[in-house]
Amino acid sequence: MSAGTGVRAPGAAPAPVRTRGRRRAPDWAPGAAGCLAVLLAWALVSVTVFRTSGAVPTPWSVVAELGRSGWSFYAQNVGVTVRGAALGYLYGNVVALAVAVLVLLVPAFDGLASQLAVISYCMPLTAIGPIVLVVFGGRTPTVFLAAISCIFTTLIGALLGLRAADPVALDLVRGFGGGRVQQVVRVQLVAALPSLVAALRIAAPAAMLGAVVGEYLGGVDSGLGVVLTVAQQQNDVPRTWALAVVCGLVAALAYLLLGVLGRLVTPWARTAEERP
C-alpha cells in the first residue's frame, strides 16, 4: 500500500482484518438455563393454577419429602431399578449391534433391519409387558422392556453411522489393495462411532423408562416402579413427584456419563463440531 494514499499496490498482500473475539458460552449453560426455566415454571404453576387441588406440589415440598424419606429409601429402590435397566440396556444393545453387523456383512438385510427397529419402537410397552409377566414372571418384564426400549435407537444410530462412510475413503482403501475387512475396520466403523455413541447415550434414559414401566406392572416387591405405584394408591402427591424427580435425575446422570465417555472415544467428532 502506498504511503498516505490508502491504495493497495498491485500484488501486495491484503492487510489482516482484525476481529474482536467473541467469548463462547460454556457447553453446560443452555442446559442449566433450561433446567432453571423448568423449575421456575413448575413453582409458578404449583402456587397459582394447582394451589387449591395440590395435584402439583411446590418444588420445595418435593425437596422436603426427599429429606423425610431419607437416602436409604431412595438408594435401595434406585439400585434395584438401575440393575434391571442396566441388564436390559446390555441385552438390547447387543441385539441391535448384532443386527447392524449382519447388515454390514449382508447389505441386502438393510431394509429388514430397519423394519425390525420400527416394530420394536412401535410395540406398546404396557401391552407386551403383562404378557411377558404372565409367561416368565419375576423381574423378566423389567429387563425385557428396558431392552426393547434400546433397540430402535441403537440400531438406527448404528445403521446411519455405517451409511455415513465416505465412498472416496472406501475406494482409497480398495485402491491400496485393502479388502472388505480393511474397509470395515479403517473406514466404516470409524465413521459409525459418533452416531453409535450418540445412540447409546439416548438409549440409556430409554432403558430406565422401560425398567420403571416393567416394575410398575407388578410381580415384584421393590424398585422405583413399585414405590411409585404405592405412592399413587396412597394419594401421596409429594412422594410421587419426588420419585419422578429421582427417576429423571438417574436417567440424566446416565445420559451425562455416556456423553463424557463419547467425547473420550470420539474426540475427532468434538473437534468437527467446534470448527467454524
Model confidence at 170: pLDDT above 80: no
Angle at 178 between CA 176 and CA 180, to 5 degrees: 145
pLDDT tens sequence across 224-272 = 989 998 998 888 899 999 999 999 999 999 999 998 888 888 877 665 4
Please provide residue 187's backbone torsions phi and psi, each rounded to the nearest 5 degrees. -120, -60
pLDDT (0 to 100) of residue 92: 94
For residue 10, being part of any structural domain is answered with no
Domain count, the chain: 1
Cα–Cα distance for residue pair 187/260, rounded to 1 Å: 24
Residue 21 or 124, more confident: 124
For residue 20, being part of any structural domain is answered with no
pLDDT (0 to 100) of residue 128: 86
User: Residue 178 corresponds to which amino acid?
Assistant: G
For residue 176, being part of any structural domain is answered with yes
Three-state DSSP class for residue 4: coil
For residue 19, being part of any structural domain is answered with no
Mean pLDDT across 202-216:
92
Query: How many other β-carbons are positioned within 10 Å of the β-carbon of residue 6?
Result: 7
**CATH number of the domain encompassing residue 267:** 1.10.3720.10
Determine the length of the chain: 276
Its pTM stands at: 0.81
Closest CA to 224 of 208, 203, 201: 208
For residue 18, being part of any structural domain is answered with no
Q: Which residue carries 445403521 as its cell?
A: 159
pLDDT tens sequence across 67-123 = 888 888 889 899 999 999 999 999 999 999 999 888 877 878 888 888 888 888 888
Model confidence at 165: pLDDT above 90: no
For residue 16, being part of any structural domain is answered with no
Q: Which residue carries 423425610 as its cell?
A: 68
Q: Which residue carries 426393547 as its cell?
A: 148
For residue 26, being part of any structural domain is answered with no
For residue 42, being part of any structural domain is answered with no
How far the first Cα of the chain sits from its last, in Å, is 31
264: containing domain: 66-274
Cα–Cα distance for residue pair 46/55, rounded to 1 Å: 8
Least confident of 157-161, 164-168, 238-242: 164-168
